[in-house]
Chain A
Amino acid sequence: MSLPAGIERREIDGRERLATRGTPVYGEPVEDGWRAWDPTRSKLGAMLETGMDPGVPDEPTVLYLGAASGTTVSHVADFSGPTYAVEFAPRPVRDLVGVAEDRKNLFPLLKDARKPETYAHVVERDVDAVIQDVATRGQADVALRNREFLADEGRLLAAIKARSEDVTRDPEDVFPDVLDRLSKGYEILETERMEPYHEDHLAVVARSR
């Protein structure tokens, strides 16, 4: 597996860790300008840490759904080209704006990822990756609705949270349903449970059909 340019494994605090180069955001350890990327705080970080192949080119154009306060997005913007960050809750967007102020290629959007028509006039088509981390019921539908932004060879990188779909059901039962729904528009390339970094999450790499 090859990491996109701009993500490296580097010795930080005596351990080999994923890192990107940029302005620090959340008090993460930094060495020589490289910011350690903590897989326990970032689903995408955990996906890369477990060795999944993101399958994106260097300097990808990215649509990030569920940006929250921008912890993960800050790393994504460090190695990516234009990065569109969609988040629905106003409070985290306040922090996200701070992260975007230091990153010219990061565009914060206070929008609902379930309604792509409300940002299709801003986000360009043919992005190389849709990264999804939304804690809402119907995560497969969010991915399906946002497929229109993805380039033919583009990748969906999604962290599916079982408890958002149904808190009472066993995650083992939830994931097959979500994947089934997802395959209406996507070819699933790889899946991986995110333990020990994140409980009851399934990481998915997929390609648009």
Chain B
Amino acid sequence: MSKGWFADIDPDDREGAARAVREGSADAPEEWPAVAVESGFASDDEEYYERLHEATLGAARAEVRERERADDAQLVHAVRAMDDADRVANELAERVGEWGGSLFSESGTGIEYARGLADREAETPVEERAIALASRVSGLANEADALREFIERATPTIAPNLAALAGPVLAARLIALAGGLGELAKKPSGTLQVLGAEEALFAHLRGHAPSPKHGIIYTHEYVHGTRPEDRGSAARALAGKLTIAARVDHYAGDRRPELDAELDERIATIRAREES
């Protein structure tokens, strides 16, 4: 027979009760109120339900607090760390390429060259230093990959609709640029459209440049995969749906697959102009 949440709990231990509700499990339900009264956890049904009410409220409050605190702030850190790791890895890889070329017969550039070099056996003290630097590059590149994997896993639970429409990494970048999911949800769609193109936007506002049509959302296939004449429309349509997705994620939290369908439809219409 399964055990109820109250099985090993002192009736006055509120924290223990909340933890049991959160972490416990059972193969099958039982007549818990009767079991609890029989075991002396509560004197009657009424008292059992009072204690259950307190325990479930405590559990829900604690878990909501924990999960909310976690999430979008941690994602912002992860995205920025990924970009830093990427940028520094590439910068150091250039140095490794230059150095390695002067020491060894084969030369090359980039992360892949550094990874290859990192596996070599050093024969002189100077080779030792160059190879050690190459292994740092390889390690940093691995860390950037691991961060990307984390972002791909975490974003859909934090912002399910935004992640579905934008892809997890772009969704995380938008959240990072806005400074949080709540901040992103409060921005008008025109602002989201040019997030990441601030320099171009301010040049435009100062009056000596055309208005930017897209910021970071350019990396979305629906923008860069649309022909240049229609990219402005595609960017506007995408930004509109992403704004709605961010608001749903922040204020409601449920997944709405119809948003995906509406976006697909809208982009198909825009791209159909090409043929006509």
Contacts and interface: CB of A to CB of B under 8 A. Distances in A.
Given A91-B252, A122-B5, A97 B29 contact: no
A97 B4 CA distance: 22
Nearest to A116: B29
A122 B260 contact: no
A92 B59 CA distance: 15
Contacts of B256: 135
B32 A97 contact: no
Contacts of B24: 121-122
B258 A89 contact: no
Interface size class of A (residues with CB under 8 A): 35 or more
A109 B64 contact: no
The CB with the most chain A CB atoms within 10 A, among B29, B33, B52, B57, is that of B29
B25 interface: yes
Interface stretch (A15-23, A28-36, A98-106, A175-183): A98-106
Given A94-B64, A110-B64, A104 B53 contact: yes
The CB with the most chain A CB atoms within 10 A, among B26, B52, B254, is that of B254
B26 A121 contact: yes
Nearest to B34: A124
A122 B31 contact: no
B28 A108 contact: no
A91 B253 contact: yes
Interface in B226-276: 250-258, 260-261
Interface in A77-124: 82, 89-94, 96-97, 100-101, 104-110, 116-118, 120-124
A132 interface: no
A69 interface: yes
Contacts of B250: 91
A68 interface: yes
B27 interface: yes
B9 to A, nearest CB: 11
B56 interface: yes
A104 B57 contact: no
Contacts of A101: 57
A41 interface: no
A167 interface: yes
Main secondary structure of the interface of B (DSSP, over half): helix
Contacts of B59: 109-110
Nearest to B45: A82
Interface in A137-169: 148-149, 163-164, 167-168
Interface string B18-30: 0011101111111
Interface size class of B (residues with CB under 8 A): 35 or more
Contacts of B67: 90
A69 B26 CA distance: 26
A209 interface: no
A184 interface: no
A101 B171 CA distance: 35
A124 B33 contact: yes
B254 A124 contact: no
Given A117-B26, A121-B4, A122-B21, A108 B57 contact: yes
Given A91-B251, A92-B252, A108-B57, A117 B33 contact: no
Interface in B42-75: 49-50, 52-53, 56-57, 59-61, 63-64, 67-68
A167 B32 contact: no
Contacts of B148: none
Contact of B258 (A92, A107, A117, A163): A163
A120 B257 contact: no
Nearest to A108: B60
B3 interface: yes
B75 to A, nearest CB: 15
Contacts of B255: 135-136
Given A91-B252, A163-B257, A122 B32 contact: yes
B2 interface: yes
Nearest to A125: B29
Given A107-B56, A123-B32, A164-B257, 5 more contacts: A96-B60, A108-B56, A121-B5, A122-B4, A124-B29
The 3 closest A-B pairs by CB, nearest first: A91-B253, A89-B253, A121-B26
Interface of B: 2-5, 20-22, 24-33, 49-50, 52-53, 56-57, 59-61, 63-64, 67-68, 250-258, 260-261
